[in-house]
Amino acid sequence: MSQARNLFPFTRPYLPLLAAAVLLLTFSGLLEALIVTLLEPVFNLWSSGSAAGSGPAGARFGFLQNWLGLEEDGALVRIALFLVLFSFLKGVFLYLADNWMAYCGHSVVASLRKRLYQRLLDHSLAFYARHPTGQLMAPVISDTERLQDAVSKKLADFVRQSVLLVAFLGLVFYIDWKLSLVTFLLAPVVLGITTLLGRKVRRLAWLSQQKISDLSQTLQETITGQRIVKAFGMQRYEEERFRETADQLVRVEMKSVRYTALSSPLMEFLGYLLFAPFLLYVSHQIGQGVSVGAFVSFIVALFKLYDPIRKLSQMHLHFQQASASSNRIFELLQTPFDLLDRPGARPLPPFGDEIRFERVSFAYPGQERPVLRGIDLRIGRGEIVALVGASGAGKSTLASLVPRFYDVTEGRLLIDGRDVRDVTQESLRAQIAIVSQDTFLFNDTLRNNIAYGRQDCSMEEVEGAARAAYIDDFIGTLPRGYDTVVGERGQRLSGGQRQRIAIARAILKRAPILILDEATSALDSASEQLVQKALENLMRDCTTVVIAHRLSTVRMAHRIVVLDEGRIVETGDHEQLIARAGVYQYLYRMQHPDESGTPVP
């Protein structure tokens, strides 16, 4: 019920079409039953020369025959025409219904997918950290696919088979309810026996596979372990082991043969066993005046019941799967956002003079241990501040608070005196450019990768940014230039080229605040130089927080902030910090063991 309620808003626009499709499916089922009833006059005409049959009881479907005018001359021609007409109509109805059902299914799934994607894009980074990629992709791709299959194909099949079941059941009961009752009491016995036999044969086939693999394992062991077998004089023992398994295999195979061989004669026998009294009963009924044709229709309708019963009995499996899928889809759709704009949040005015951390502490959502503790830091306009510290000290975490990827646990983060939680996320992030260490490029053209976030900008602007990032020369050498598609995650480019594209992207954004996560992997020196020059262009006029993994790059910084286990332990410039003989000096010595010229107290 709750699933139907969940799905309702997505199916609502298609309900009229769904209803029309169900109606057509119903008509097509009724037409199929009608076709079977037409067999009665055909056989009656053949056996007695009259569509109604010869006996006093007359045709079972006499009213239909009257209605279709089959009592008159040329009945067979009419029947033939009706058969053609009905099957044509049935085909058209089925065709239309299948199309409409599929259209509804695909449309519902498309709107679900769009909604899921839209919500995914608005979730916070904490949400992404909590969910593995596969867990987020499955509901959007495969679960929706399964739901679509259920909504279009399985639902159509369910309606069609249900209509056929009711129509043919009605038909056989209408023709002879007593015979139908006996048939439906006996049918489970026959079905039960076939199912049992089938299960037995499958089990034996599995057992025989086991025995064959036992045999081959024994064989392989004794061939490879011949030396040991001989050394311990175990030939006769191994021979006995092999013989036993081989004999077991024969026994299993023979058992399987017995069941398989039994199956077909038994079914045939059972068939005749049931058919014999049926034959006598039918002859008796015909003697009483019931038409031959009625029983032909009966038998055909009985066979036609096989498909709906088989398909409907398996239907619940498909619906169960679809229901599990729909659960996963709605669980994801209903996951609340954990980082929203406050009601009444205002846009952040253009950046003025400072970013200020006030007694900021931070623990990742769901974790007890704070990663940052008591951070007090002011970054003035135009300043370049380098964050330095051992791996895991909290540098990236500190930087990720500025664009409000996470909310502080304690304290405040202010930009020009405004708490970042009071401004809209969009306006905040519009003023921040981020160049991260794992440069992410989309599988798109170089132009679109550089203009990511500024799709409206002109080609001249893109080229200007590429020049400032020292990547335009390289792009000029490519046969397709800016229209070159970079491959998934920019695989067709080198590490340095990727970084410079990311820098060009940040230059084009022209944001006043820059967060630079220095790449950890070293580049060759030519490439490194280009990246450095590109960075200098990028940082010009920006207020920059640079996460420095390699201390050689921090020399550009006006101020170095050293973090240790989530606390700021030292601040100053390179010389001051080296002179202090603290964490910075230790880290520096670790990275530059050959340098000794710096003063040590």
Comparison of 393 and 466: residue with beta carbon closer to ligand ATP: 393
- CA-based torsion, 363, 416, 456, 459: positive or negative: negative
Phi/psi class of residue 289: alpha, beta or left (left: φ > 0; alpha: ψ in -120 to 50)?
left
Least gap, CB of 550 to ligand ATP (angstroms): 11
Least gap, CB of 414 to ligand ATP (angstroms): 21
Comparison of 90 and 395: residue with beta carbon closer to ligand ATP: 395
Least gap, CB of 342 to ligand ATP (angstroms): 23
Least gap, CB of 401 to ligand ATP (angstroms): 10
Least gap, CB of 549 to ligand ATP (angstroms): 6
Least gap, CB of 396 to ligand ATP (angstroms): 3
What pairing do the DSSP bridges indicate for beta strands 432-435 and 513-517?
parallel
Q: Which of 402, 419, 410 is nearest to 373 (CA)?
A: 410
Comparison of 397 and 543: residue with beta carbon closer to ligand ATP: 397
Q: Determine contact, residues 294/243, Cβ cutoff 8 Å.
A: no
Comparison of 399 and 433: residue with beta carbon closer to ligand ATP: 399
3-state class of 115 per DSSP? Answer: helix
**Rounded (5°) CA angle 6-7-12:** 120
Comparison of 161 and 397: residue with beta carbon closer to ligand ATP: 397
Distances (CA, A) of 44 to 103, 300, 554: 44, 15, 101
What pairing do the DSSP bridges indicate for beta strands 559-564 and 567-572?
antiparallel
Comparison of 379 and 515: residue with beta carbon closer to ligand ATP: 515
**Which residues of the shown chain bind ligand ATP in the complex (CB under 6 A)?**
129, 364, 367, 371, 389, 391-397, 549
Local structure of residue 424 (DSSP, 8 states) = -
d(CA 46, CA 312): 36
Least gap, CB of 121 to ligand ATP (angstroms): 19
Other residues' Cβ atoms within 10 Å of the Cβ of residue 411: 18
Least gap, CB of 397 to ligand ATP (angstroms): 3
Q: Determine contact, residues 21/152, Cβ cutoff 8 Å.
A: no
d(CA 187, CA 131): 51
Other residues' Cβ atoms within 10 Å of the Cβ of residue 306: 12
Comparison of 296 and 561: residue with beta carbon closer to ligand ATP: 561
Comparison of 257 and 522: residue with beta carbon closer to ligand ATP: 522
Other residues' Cβ atoms within 10 Å of the Cβ of residue 413: 22
